Every structure is written in structure tokens, then in C-alpha cells.
Amino acid sequence: MGASRNVVSLSSFIFGAYILLSASTVNCNKDHLRGLQSIKWAPASTPTMKQAVAEYEDWIENVRMKHELKQKLADKPGMIQPDLTLDFPGMKQYTDWESVVTPSTYIVVDQNGIGDFISLSDAINSIPKNRYRQYRITIQLNAGVYREKVTIERTRPFITLQGLGQPTIVWNDTNFHSGNHTFDSATFGVAGNFFLARYITFQNTAPPPPPGAIGMQAVALRVTSDYAAFHDCTIIGNQDSLYDHNGRHFYKDTFIQGSIDFIFGNGLSMFYNCELNVMPTQWGAVTAQKRQNATDNTGFSFLNCRITGAGRVYLGRAWGPFSRVVYSFTWMSDVVYAPGWFDWGLPDRQLSVYYGQYRCSGPGANETGRVMWSRELTNWEAAPFLSLNFVGGEDWIPQYLKPLV
């Protein structure tokens, strides 16, 4: 779904180069990362490819040297660690979003047994628990349907889950089957900080709830990380598909599907260029945001998104008394109810919620018929919701994921 981007440095080129070369020119055995000397290259067919292979080998060697130096420095308590990019130009620091390539930091999961693990859960559990770890570990999840319930605890930060062939992680728990805990119904739950997922489908296959049903909430993805980003992912469920529980999150080029409150929680999150697809329903809501106080810095900002599908939905319901949701430059189909917003049956919340639109389009975006307590934002009012600063993203979102606006 996301637009392709030009690679401008070897550090950002590393993953794409590895996949491309291993598929077309490089013969890489199962132990491709078990010791940096185990990589076996097939003859390069062109001078350009030979140069790329040579540069990649140099990159690996530089990473190895940097990694060894970093480890030596870490063994000296109290010693101030220098910025190693001065000694290794173009290399990433551990707190960046690139993985240091070693046997323990690049893990391949493949259902056919050609990776390091067959199960994603086993791969995650192989990572030692250390909430203070400052370097990134990448898990490459190869194509397939992985029927498992997965959790990444807070003690496993700095993980990238990189899909190859749009793999699907699927389960079918509901609130009822999880001890009346919607939180625990999630197919995939992540709490580790600085988590990144790309090209992954998260799905909960629990059936659509009939009108008035109780205990049918079924979460596909739950995000509790302080910082997390999702790029070109797919999130599929019915009621409560995406539990944006808390923390600062960024979703880009992501397809999210559901019917009732299918994006909900108390996170501070931006959705950029995402499709919000409504499953057929007599009534529902895209969001249920749970901001509790006027001073809480939480809410959802939808920028350059699309609302599609069938049925009838509100743009949002006031799960929290100070619920905050804004849609900007978003195309809305006629699945959106004319009133737009619902107060959860608690009229007092009409005085405290913050619901707005800014320059939206489509048949569902017409302000005529909207509830009086929603607003069409001015340029000045909309500005905070149009910037990555809404989630503090200039400081932590990977550079290659930042919108080119």
C-alpha cells in the first residue's frame, strides 16, 4: 500500500539489499547470520552487482567492528561511550531503527523450516528479557498463516517485525473466552518500546457480533508500547479490532477493518494514509477514544485517510468523558452517519469531548446534519493534528516513515 522509496544510504539499504541479493544473485545458506563469515556469495553477474556485493560485505565488516567496540565499552562500568558514528561514518547507533547484523539480532521465522524458527512465539521467547537493552533485533517473518497468540512484553524492547510476503498472524479469542477481559483477547499484543512492524497482517477471526451481543469484543492487535510504529500492515477484526491501549504510536499506509469501535483505547496516535474499512453492520463506530481528563495528552489524529466499506457508522463514540478525535484531509464514504458522533448515551460528555474535521471530502464528510458539539476546525485549530509533533514523532519515528509533506 505504501509508496516505494529510494534508498539513499547503505544503512537504510541493508534489509532490501539482503532480500534482493539473496533472491537473485546471492546464495545464502540457513546459517546466513551464524557468524559473519558464513555468508556465501554466488558470482555477481554485472559490475554494478559486484560493487553492491562488495559494499554490502564492507558494511557487514564495519558493523562487526562497531559491535565489538560497543561490547568492549559496555564491559567498562562508568565509562562514557563515544558516538561511534565518528569512527564508522554512516553506521547507525543502537537506538536507531536498523538492526545490527549478528546471529542473535537477525532472526528468520519460516513455517517450512528454512529459518531459525517455525513459530513466531518461539522466536520472540528466544530473545532475552532486558527492558534496558538499547540495540534493535529484527525478526523476519516469512510468508504464511501463523495461527498463534503472540505477546511481546515490555522487557523486550527494540524489536522490528518485518514481513516477507505479507504473512498473517491469526487467532480467534473474544472477551467472553478471555475471562471477560477484552485486553486479553488480542491475537497480537506488544508492550516493548520502539517496536516496529512492517508488511504484517494481524487478524482476529471471531465472528461479527449480533446486535446487543455481550462479550464479543475480539482484538486483532493491542499496542501498549510507549513508542511503536506500523507501516503497510493490515489489521482485521470486527468489534474492537485495534486496541490502541496507551502510548505514542504511528500507523502509516495501514488497512484497518472492523465494525464496532474498531479503533479504540487511550493512546496518543496518528494514522497517516490509512484505509478504515467498515464491515457490514446496522450501526457501529470507527473510534472509541478514552481520554479521561482535559489535561491528558491522548487522542487520535487521522490524516489523509479513507473511510470505506458498507453499513452505517459514527466517526467516533465518547468512551471517555474527554474523548479526542480529529479527521483531516480524509475521504469519507456514505457509510458515515450524518450526525457523525455519539456521546455514549451520556449527554454531559457533549460539553467535554473534542471531535472535529478539517478539509475532509466525500459523501460522508458533509457537515450538514453533524451534531452541534462537533466542530469544523480552523487552520489554527487543525495545526497540532497535522504534524508528527502530535505524537512527538520528529524525535522517534524512523526517518523513512515520515510523510513527505
Spatial contact of 209 and 216, defined as CB atoms under 8 Å apart: yes
Spatial contact of 267 and 254, defined as CB atoms under 8 Å apart: no
Q: What's the distance, CA 365 to chain centroid?
A: 27
Cell matching residue 247: 502510548
How many helices, marked H, and strands, marked E, lie in the chain?
5, 27
Angle at which helix 47-74 crosses helix 10-24, to 10 degrees, equals 130
CA angle 19, 124, 233 (to 5 degrees): 55
Q: List 264's β-bridge partners, or say none.
A: 243, 288
Active site residues: 261
Q: What's the distance, CA 382 to chain centroid?
A: 24
Spatial contact of 186 and 220, defined as CB atoms under 8 Å apart: yes
Q: If you ran DSSP here, which 8-state letter would residue 117 be given?
A: B
Give me the sheet containing 242-244, strands edge to edge: 150-152, 188-190, 221-223, 242-244, 260-265, 285-289, 314-318, 341-342
Q: What is the DSSP string of 60-109?
A: HHHHHHHHHHHHHHHTSTTPPPP-GGGTSTTPPPTTSSSPP-STTTEEEE
Taking the C-alpha atoms of residue 195 and residue 158, their distance in angstroms, rounded to an integer, is 6
